[in-house]
Amino acid sequence: MSPSTRIANLYGREILDSRGNPTLAVTLVLESGAEASAAVPSGASTGANEAVELRDGDPARYGGKGVLQAIGRVEGPIASALQGHDVCDQAALDRAMIALDGTPNKARLGANAILGVSMAAARAASIVEGVPLYQQLGGEGACLLPMPSMNVLNGGKHADSGLDFQEFMIVPVGAPSFAEALRYGAETYAAIRSILHKRGLKTAVGDEGGFAPALENNEEACELIVAGVEAAGYRPGQDIAIALDPAASSFGRGGVYDLARAGQARLDRTAMLALYGRWIDAYPIVSIEDGFAEDDWQGFVEQTTAQGQRIQVMGDDITVTNPHFIQEAIDRKAMNAVLIKLNQIGTVTETVDAVNLCHKAGWGTMVSHRSGETNDDFIADFAVAVGAGQMKSGAPCRGERLAKYNRLLEIERMLGKRAFFTNPFTNPFAKA
Ligand code: PGA
Ligand code: ZN
Q: What CATH number has the domain bearing residue 304?
A: 3.20.20.120
Comparing CA positions, the residue from 257, 223, 261 lying closest to residue 242 is: 223
Q: What is the mean pLDDT of residues 21-28?
A: 98
Residues 291 and 199 in one domain: yes
316 C-alpha to center of ligand 1: Å? Answer: 8
Residue to probe by mutation, ligand 1, list 21, 45, 287, most atoms within 8 Å of CB: 45
Q: What is the mean pLDDT of residues 212-222?
A: 92
285 C-alpha to center of ligand 1: Å? Answer: 19
Amino acid at 379: I
**Tens digits of per-residue pLDDT, 147-194?**
999 999 999 999 988 899 999 999 999 999 999 999 999 999 999 999
Residue 136 lies in a domain: no
**Tens digits of per-residue pLDDT, 147-157?**
999 999 999 99
Residues 125 and 166 in one domain: no
Active-site residue set: 208, 341
Whether residue 261 is predicted with pLDDT greater than 80 in this model: the reply is: no
d(CA 152, CA 167): 8
Residue 273 lies in a domain: yes
Whether residue 221 is predicted with pLDDT greater than 70 in this model: the reply is: yes
Comparing CA positions, the residue from 3, 15, 361, 397 lying closest to residue 170 is: 397
pLDDT band at 431 (very low <50, low <70, confident <90, very high): very low
Residue to probe by mutation, ligand 1, list 314, 316, 373, most atoms within 8 Å of CB: 316
Q: What is the mean pLDDT of residues 8-25?
A: 98
Which sign does the torsion angle of CA 300, 302, 308, 311 carry?
negative
Instruction: Quote the DSSP letter at residue 134.
Output: H
Predicted local distance difference test score (pLDDT) of residue 430? 41
Task: Please provide the size of the chain in residues.
Answer: 432
Q: What is the domain range of residue 99?
A: 3-130
Residues 56 and 114 in one domain: yes
Q: Which atom of ligand 1 approaches the CA of 166 most closely?
A: 8
User: What CATH number does residue 95 fall under?
Assistant: 3.30.390.10
Q: Which residue has the higher pLDDT, 3 or 295?
A: 295
Residue 84 lies in a domain: yes
Predicted local distance difference test score (pLDDT) of residue 160? 87
Whether residue 429 is predicted with pLDDT greater than 50 in this model: the reply is: no
Residue 428 lies in a domain: no
Predicted local distance difference test score (pLDDT) of residue 425? 95
Comparing CA positions, the residue from 267, 312, 303 lying closest to residue 285 is: 312
Instruction: Quote the DSSP letter at residue 282.
Output: H
349 C-alpha to center of ligand 2: Å? Answer: 22
Residues 124 and 90 in one domain: yes
d(CA 335, CA 305): 9
pLDDT band at 64 (very low <50, low <70, confident <90, very high): very high
Residues 188 and 235 in one domain: yes
Residue 430 lies in a domain: no
Q: In degrees rounded to 5, what are phi and psi of residue 274?
A: -65, -40
d(CA 121, CA 79): 12
Q: What is the mean pLDDT of residues 72-87?
A: 98
Averaged confidence pLDDT in the chain: 96
Share of residues in the chain with pLDDT > 70 (%): 98
Q: What is the mean pLDDT of residues 393-420?
A: 98
Residues 87 and 151 in one domain: no
Q: In degrees rounded to 5, what are phi and psi of residue 150?
A: -105, 120
Residue 407 lies in a domain: yes
Domain closes at, from 92, 108, 130: 130
Domain closes at, from 130, 159, 179: 130
Residue 81 lies in a domain: yes
Q: Are 71 and 14 in contact (CB under 8 A)?
A: yes
Residues 354 and 391 in one domain: yes
Least confident of 96-110, 138-152, 209-223, 404-418: 209-223
Residues 162 and 200 in one domain: yes
Distance of CA 207 to the CA centre of its chain: 13
pTM of the full predicted structure? Answer: 0.97
Total domains present in the chain:
2
Least confident of 108-112, 135-139, 160-164, 353-357: 160-164
Whether residue 280 is predicted with pLDDT greater than 50 in this model: the reply is: yes
Residue 247 lies in a domain: yes
Residues 387 and 257 in one domain: yes
Residues with Cβ within 8 Å of 50's Cβ and at least 6 positions away in sequence, in order, are 43, 105, 111, 320, 343, 344
Domain closes at, from 68, 100, 130: 130
Partners of 364 in beta bridges: 337
Residues 261 and 388 in one domain: yes
Q: Which residues line ligand 1 (CB under 6 A)?
A: 43-46, 245, 247, 316, 339, 368, 370-371
What is the three-class DSSP state of 7?
Answer: strand
73 C-alpha to center of ligand 1: Å? Answer: 26
Residues 24 and 105 in one domain: yes
Least confident of 60-64, 126-130, 217-221, 249-253: 217-221
Predicted local distance difference test score (pLDDT) of residue 260? 82
Q: Which ligand lies nearest the alpha carbon of 367?
A: 1
d(CA 383, CA 138): 9
Instruction: Quote the DSSP letter at residue 54.
Output: P
Residues 281 and 362 in one domain: yes
